[in-house]
């Protein structure tokens, strides 16, 4: 198969390993660079805008700072306790993709507190020995009623670890003043979502 490189005619198909380019551009609007099938556009251009149409982003690609790299959500969280000491509810893990990325943590827990007199639920989130959420009693009362509410919390965490590091978190609850406390006592799910942010 004959072809052209610039104004020079080639008697056979020229492989890319034989070409060195200082620069390359699409000839005009509507043109594209295709896959080896000759029809599937990998890059296309329209009105000066070049679009990546087909392909997979490799692991070596560097994302802009603040870009979301990966998102994972825990399974449904459900627990109950009457203990006034910490009880581990779930220990989700998250593996980093790039070095020194940040982890944006979003937690939504459907909480319920029952008990005579004072009753509160304490919620704590740890990474190892590091306390990310300090356990302030965000749902409860002093009147002994059946209290229900949403424990919602967001946090941008900087673990400062290398790529492919698995982080283990521990969500803990306790019942202050010996009330009975619940996470997700109804049908509405409770979750923790982790988003890795490019450094």
Domain harbouring 86, CATH code: 2.60.120.660
Co-location of 12 and 95 in the same domain: no
> How high does pLDDT run on average in the chain?
83
Q: Which of 133, 121, 100 is nearest to 178 (CA)?
A: 121
Q: 17-31, 92-106, 135-149, 163-177: which has the minimum mean pLDDT?
A: 17-31
Name the DSSP class of 84: S
Look at residue 45 and tell me whether its pLDDT is greater than 50.
yes
Q: Which residue has the higher pLDDT, 132 or 50?
A: 132
Co-location of 146 and 192 in the same domain: yes
Q: What is the pLDDT of residue 7?
A: 52
Look at residue 44 and tell me whether its pLDDT is greater than 70.
yes
Q: What is the pTM of this model?
A: 0.75
Of the pLDDT bands very low, low, confident and very high (cuts 50, 70, 90), residue 198 is very high
Report, as an integer, the average pLDDT of 101-113: 94
Co-location of 72 and 11 in the same domain: no
Look at residue 2 and tell me whether its pLDDT is greater than 50.
no
Co-location of 33 and 74 in the same domain: no
Does residue 57 sit within a domain?
no
Question: In terms of residue numbers, what domain contains 26?
Answer: 3-52
Q: Which two structure tokens, joined as six digits, stand for 92?
A: 């989700």
Co-location of 185 and 95 in the same domain: yes
Co-location of 27 and 83 in the same domain: no
Q: 6-20, 43-57, 84-98: which has the minimum mean pLDDT?
A: 6-20
Co-location of 182 and 136 in the same domain: yes
Co-location of 121 and 146 in the same domain: yes
Does residue 99 sit within a domain?
yes
The total number of structural domains that make up the chain = 2
Does residue 63 sit within a domain?
no
Co-location of 174 and 149 in the same domain: yes
- Parallel/antiparallel/unpaired status of strands 3-5 and 41-46: unpaired
Reported as a single tens digit per residue, the pLDDT across 164-176 is 999 999 999 998 7
Q: Are 63 and 198 in contact (CB under 8 A)?
A: yes
Render the burial of 48-85: b for 16+ CB within 10 Å, e for the rest. Answer: eeeeeeeeeeeeeeebeeeeeeeeeebeebbbbbeeee
Does residue 16 sit within a domain?
yes
Co-location of 11 and 108 in the same domain: no
Does residue 62 sit within a domain?
no
Co-location of 106 and 188 in the same domain: yes
Q: Which residue has the tokens 């790039």?
A: 98
The rounded distance, in Å, linking the Cα atoms of 101 and 96 is 7
Q: Which of 46, 16, 21 is nearest to 31 (CA)?
A: 46
Co-location of 114 and 31 in the same domain: no
């Amino acid at each position: 198969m004959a072809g052209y490189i610039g104004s020079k005619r080639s008697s056979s198909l020229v492989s890319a390993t034989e070409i060195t380019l200082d620069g390359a551009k699409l000839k005009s609007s509507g043109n594209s660079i295709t896959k080896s099938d000759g029809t599937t556009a990998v890059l296309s251009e329209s009105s000066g805008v070049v679009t990546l149409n087909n392909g997979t982003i490799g692991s070596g690609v560097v994302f802009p700072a603040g870009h979301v790299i990966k998102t994972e959500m825990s399974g449904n969280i459900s627990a109950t306790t009457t203990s006034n000491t910490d009880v581990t509810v779930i220990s989700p893990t998250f593996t980093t993709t790039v070095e020194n990325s940040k982890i944006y943590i979003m937690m939504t827990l459907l909480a319920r507190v029952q008990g005579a007199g004072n009753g509160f639920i304490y919620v704590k989130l740890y990474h190892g020995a590091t306390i990310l959420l300090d356990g302030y009693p965000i749902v409860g009362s002093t009147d002994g009623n059946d209290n229900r509410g949403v424990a919602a919390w967001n946090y941008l965490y900087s673990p400062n670890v290398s790529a492919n590091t698995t982080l283990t978190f521990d969500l803990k609850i306790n019942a202050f003043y010996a009330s009975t406390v619940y996470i997700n006592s109804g049908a509405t799910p409770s979750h923790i979502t982790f988003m890795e942010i490019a450094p």
